[in-house]
Structure 1
Amino acid sequence: MQIERLIQMIFYLIHHGHVTAKELADYFDVSTRTVYRDINTLTLAGIPILSSKGTGGGISLVEGYTLDKSLLSKEEQQHIYHGLQTLQATKYPNTEMALSKIGAIFRSALEPKWLEIDLTYWGSEEKEKIKISELQYAIINKQVITFDYFNTYLQKSKRVIEPLRLVFKSHAWYIAGYCRDREEIRFFRMSRIRNLEVISETFLRELPQEESLITHCEETEVDIPFLKLRFSPEIAYKLYDNFHESQVTLCEDGSYLVSVQYELNDWTFHYLLSFGKHVEILEPEMAREMMKERVKEIQKLYEK
């Protein structure tokens, strides 16, 4: 397959330095025309390859990538790996397998430096920031973490956790892990965590397949009500982007009923307000009254 040949070609250049197109053609049992086509593909993908014709010409990686033929720097490994990810977007066959192979070789270099997820509020102190990279390291290396945790009533407790997985559920990040205080698997909302620390102690535990976020969530211990919502036909195109098909029912008048479980908090009402006049809360009555109060507060801003 071409993607496999492209990867082999990169490593051939790493180990052999300056080579000719004929040498590559003989090695891979293809025509020189195919070699030049492959080199062009790699160049477009961002792999730093030089190609020159005539006496003394040939094909090589740019200077600096061949100085050490046995070990690439992290930056060089990332450059090659990200180039191959670009090839993946062109839908070459067996790309996933090839990237998996090269990813195993370059494992230490493939840190997500292009991505930063800051889960703290604006203006918070640097020490309060929870970095995904720290948790990724703790989960992969099975190292225990400690942190202060605030429950729904702002009561603080010290937790010692064996972190097993990061979970993004609905609109929030959670850490799934074995809580040594509760002696069971729990899910902790990351926005409620402070002073997180990865310690040197390791563990062997794995996350059971059947564990559910809803079953053991530390975010709240209050009942979460089901909301019955009516959406107008004009907003129908958004419903399946936001709700599961089992939650949506088409009515005879063309409107849609949605039954969904949400907390009655600011996030829920702000989210529903984003649908404007196209959504109405039918049940429970408490939720209707809470929405009315918010609408009145908004209306006051425009009565001045």
Structure 2
Amino acid sequence: MKIDRMLEIIIYLVNHDNVSARYLAERFGVSVRTIQRDIVSISSIGIPVYAAGGKYGGYSILPTYKMKNLNIREDEQQMIRKALESLATSYTSDTLDGLIEKYNAIVEKEGGQKVFWDFGVSRENKKVQDSNRLLEKAIHNKNVVSFSYQKADGTQSQQSVEPLAIHYKWYAWYLFAYLEKRQAYRTYKIARMRDITIEERKAVRDHGDIRERMKESEKEYYRTCIAIEIHFHEKEAGLMEEFFPDCAVERLPDGQFRTFIYVPPGERLWKALLLSFGDRVRVVGPEEYKEDLILTAQKFLSNYDI
């Protein structure tokens, strides 16, 4: 499994200098290209891997980041811990137990283990775990996949896409893909995907740097978002910053606080978050979003004899 292999590569590199991609490929039973992709992924989570060219070149990790001889700092432990946490939500507990054992064997200091994990809340259900493994296989083999998809507003559609990457954000796993019939890139929440099927048809389009395509797609996504003005009491400022960390909070002359949250059309999660504050949060505008929140609250109350 990829995450297991990546951690083993990190362990090997911190204990060996100047390891060639060919040697790593033979050691882990994969292609040189797969090792190169793994090295890019390892670098992206903050492990400083560098490559030396020439006949005797290879991969190494900067000496200041060496974990042998128990030199890893506490902030570096947290970096690796966060990387594991972000990946842990899609893999089985047996795999995680093995990874944690390996990690503890490297970083344990005098006085016992310093970092502990509890993945009970963050773990995705088995369906998402299985879907991630299926999609990872399709991406590796460049197969088109089809599936039934339920949008945030409850509507369903049948999709056939070229899967390009799975990634973790907003506390969930997503598929980044190319929708050929629209000639556009789309992001799908994996938990909303049903009946995923790997087709025999291969994806032939060259998408270039997938990370760049993802950044461009995200910028386009945010251009469709609507700014909703929210007023709230001072004692709720901390929770508002926690729920909407990218939204600036300012104090108003009347002592209340204000922020603007940005939501895409059809998204419903923002209503659930705001309703959880009760009368301590108020939507000021736009008017249609204010009315939408009121209507949602009225429909909820209609289920009860009040």
Q: Tell me how large the CA RMSD over aligned residues is.
A: 4.4
Partner of 2:139: 139
> Which whole-Å CA distance do the structure 1 matches of 2:95 and 2:262 have between them?
46
1:175 partner letter: L
Aligned with 2:100 (options 71, 74, 82) = 82
Partner of 2:230: 229
The 1:231/1:171 distance shift into structure 2, 3 A limit, reads farther
> Which whole-Å CA distance do the structure 2 matches of 1:79 and 1:208 have between them?
30
Partner of 1:117: 125
Q: Does 1:250 align with 2:258?
A: no
Q: Deviations over 1:220-255 (max 9, x none)?
A: xx9542210012111112122122355322324442
Partner of 1:276: 278
The 1:223/1:153 distance shift into structure 2, 3 A limit, reads farther
Q: Deviations over 1:152-172 (max 9, x none)?
A: 68463441x221122445466
Provide structure 2 residue ranges, at least 5 long, that are not aligned to the other structure. 1-10, 17-69, 71-92, 111-121
Q: Does 1:207 align with 2:205?
A: no
- Counterpart mapping for 1:98-247 below 5 A: 116-117=124-125, 131-149=131-149, 154=155, 156-159=157-160, 161-170=161-170, 173-190=173-190, 192-199=192-199, 201=202, 205=207, 206-211=209-214, 212-214=216-218, 224-247=225-248
Q: Give the greater-gyration-radius structure (CA).
A: 1
Deviation at 1:298, TM superposition (A): 4.9
Provide structure 1 residue ranges, at least 5 long, that are not aligned to the other structure. 9-37, 39-74, 93-113, 121-128
Q: Deviations over 1:119-148 (max 9, x none)?
A: 68xxxxxxxx96222122323444332234
1:264–1:287 CA contact under 8 A, matched in 2 = no
Deviation at 1:195, TM superposition (A): 2.4
The 1:207/1:86 distance shift into structure 2, 3 A limit, reads same
1:288 partner letter: K
Deviation at 1:280, TM superposition (A): 0.5
The 1:119/1:232 distance shift into structure 2, 3 A limit, reads farther
**Which protein is richer in helix relative to its size?**
2
> Which whole-Å CA distance do the structure 2 matches of 1:87 and 1:254 have between them?
53
> Which whole-Å CA distance do the structure 1 matches of 2:103 and 2:135 have between them?
24
Q: Could you state the TM-score of these two structures normalised by the residue count of structure 1?
A: 0.51
1:273 partner letter: L
1:227 partner letter: I
The aligned length equals: 204
Identity over aligned residues, as a percent? Answer: 20
1:117–1:131 CA contact under 8 A, matched in 2 = no
Q: Deviations over 1:190-212 (max 9, x none)?
A: 45533211245465645151533
Deviation at 1:260, TM superposition (A): 1.3
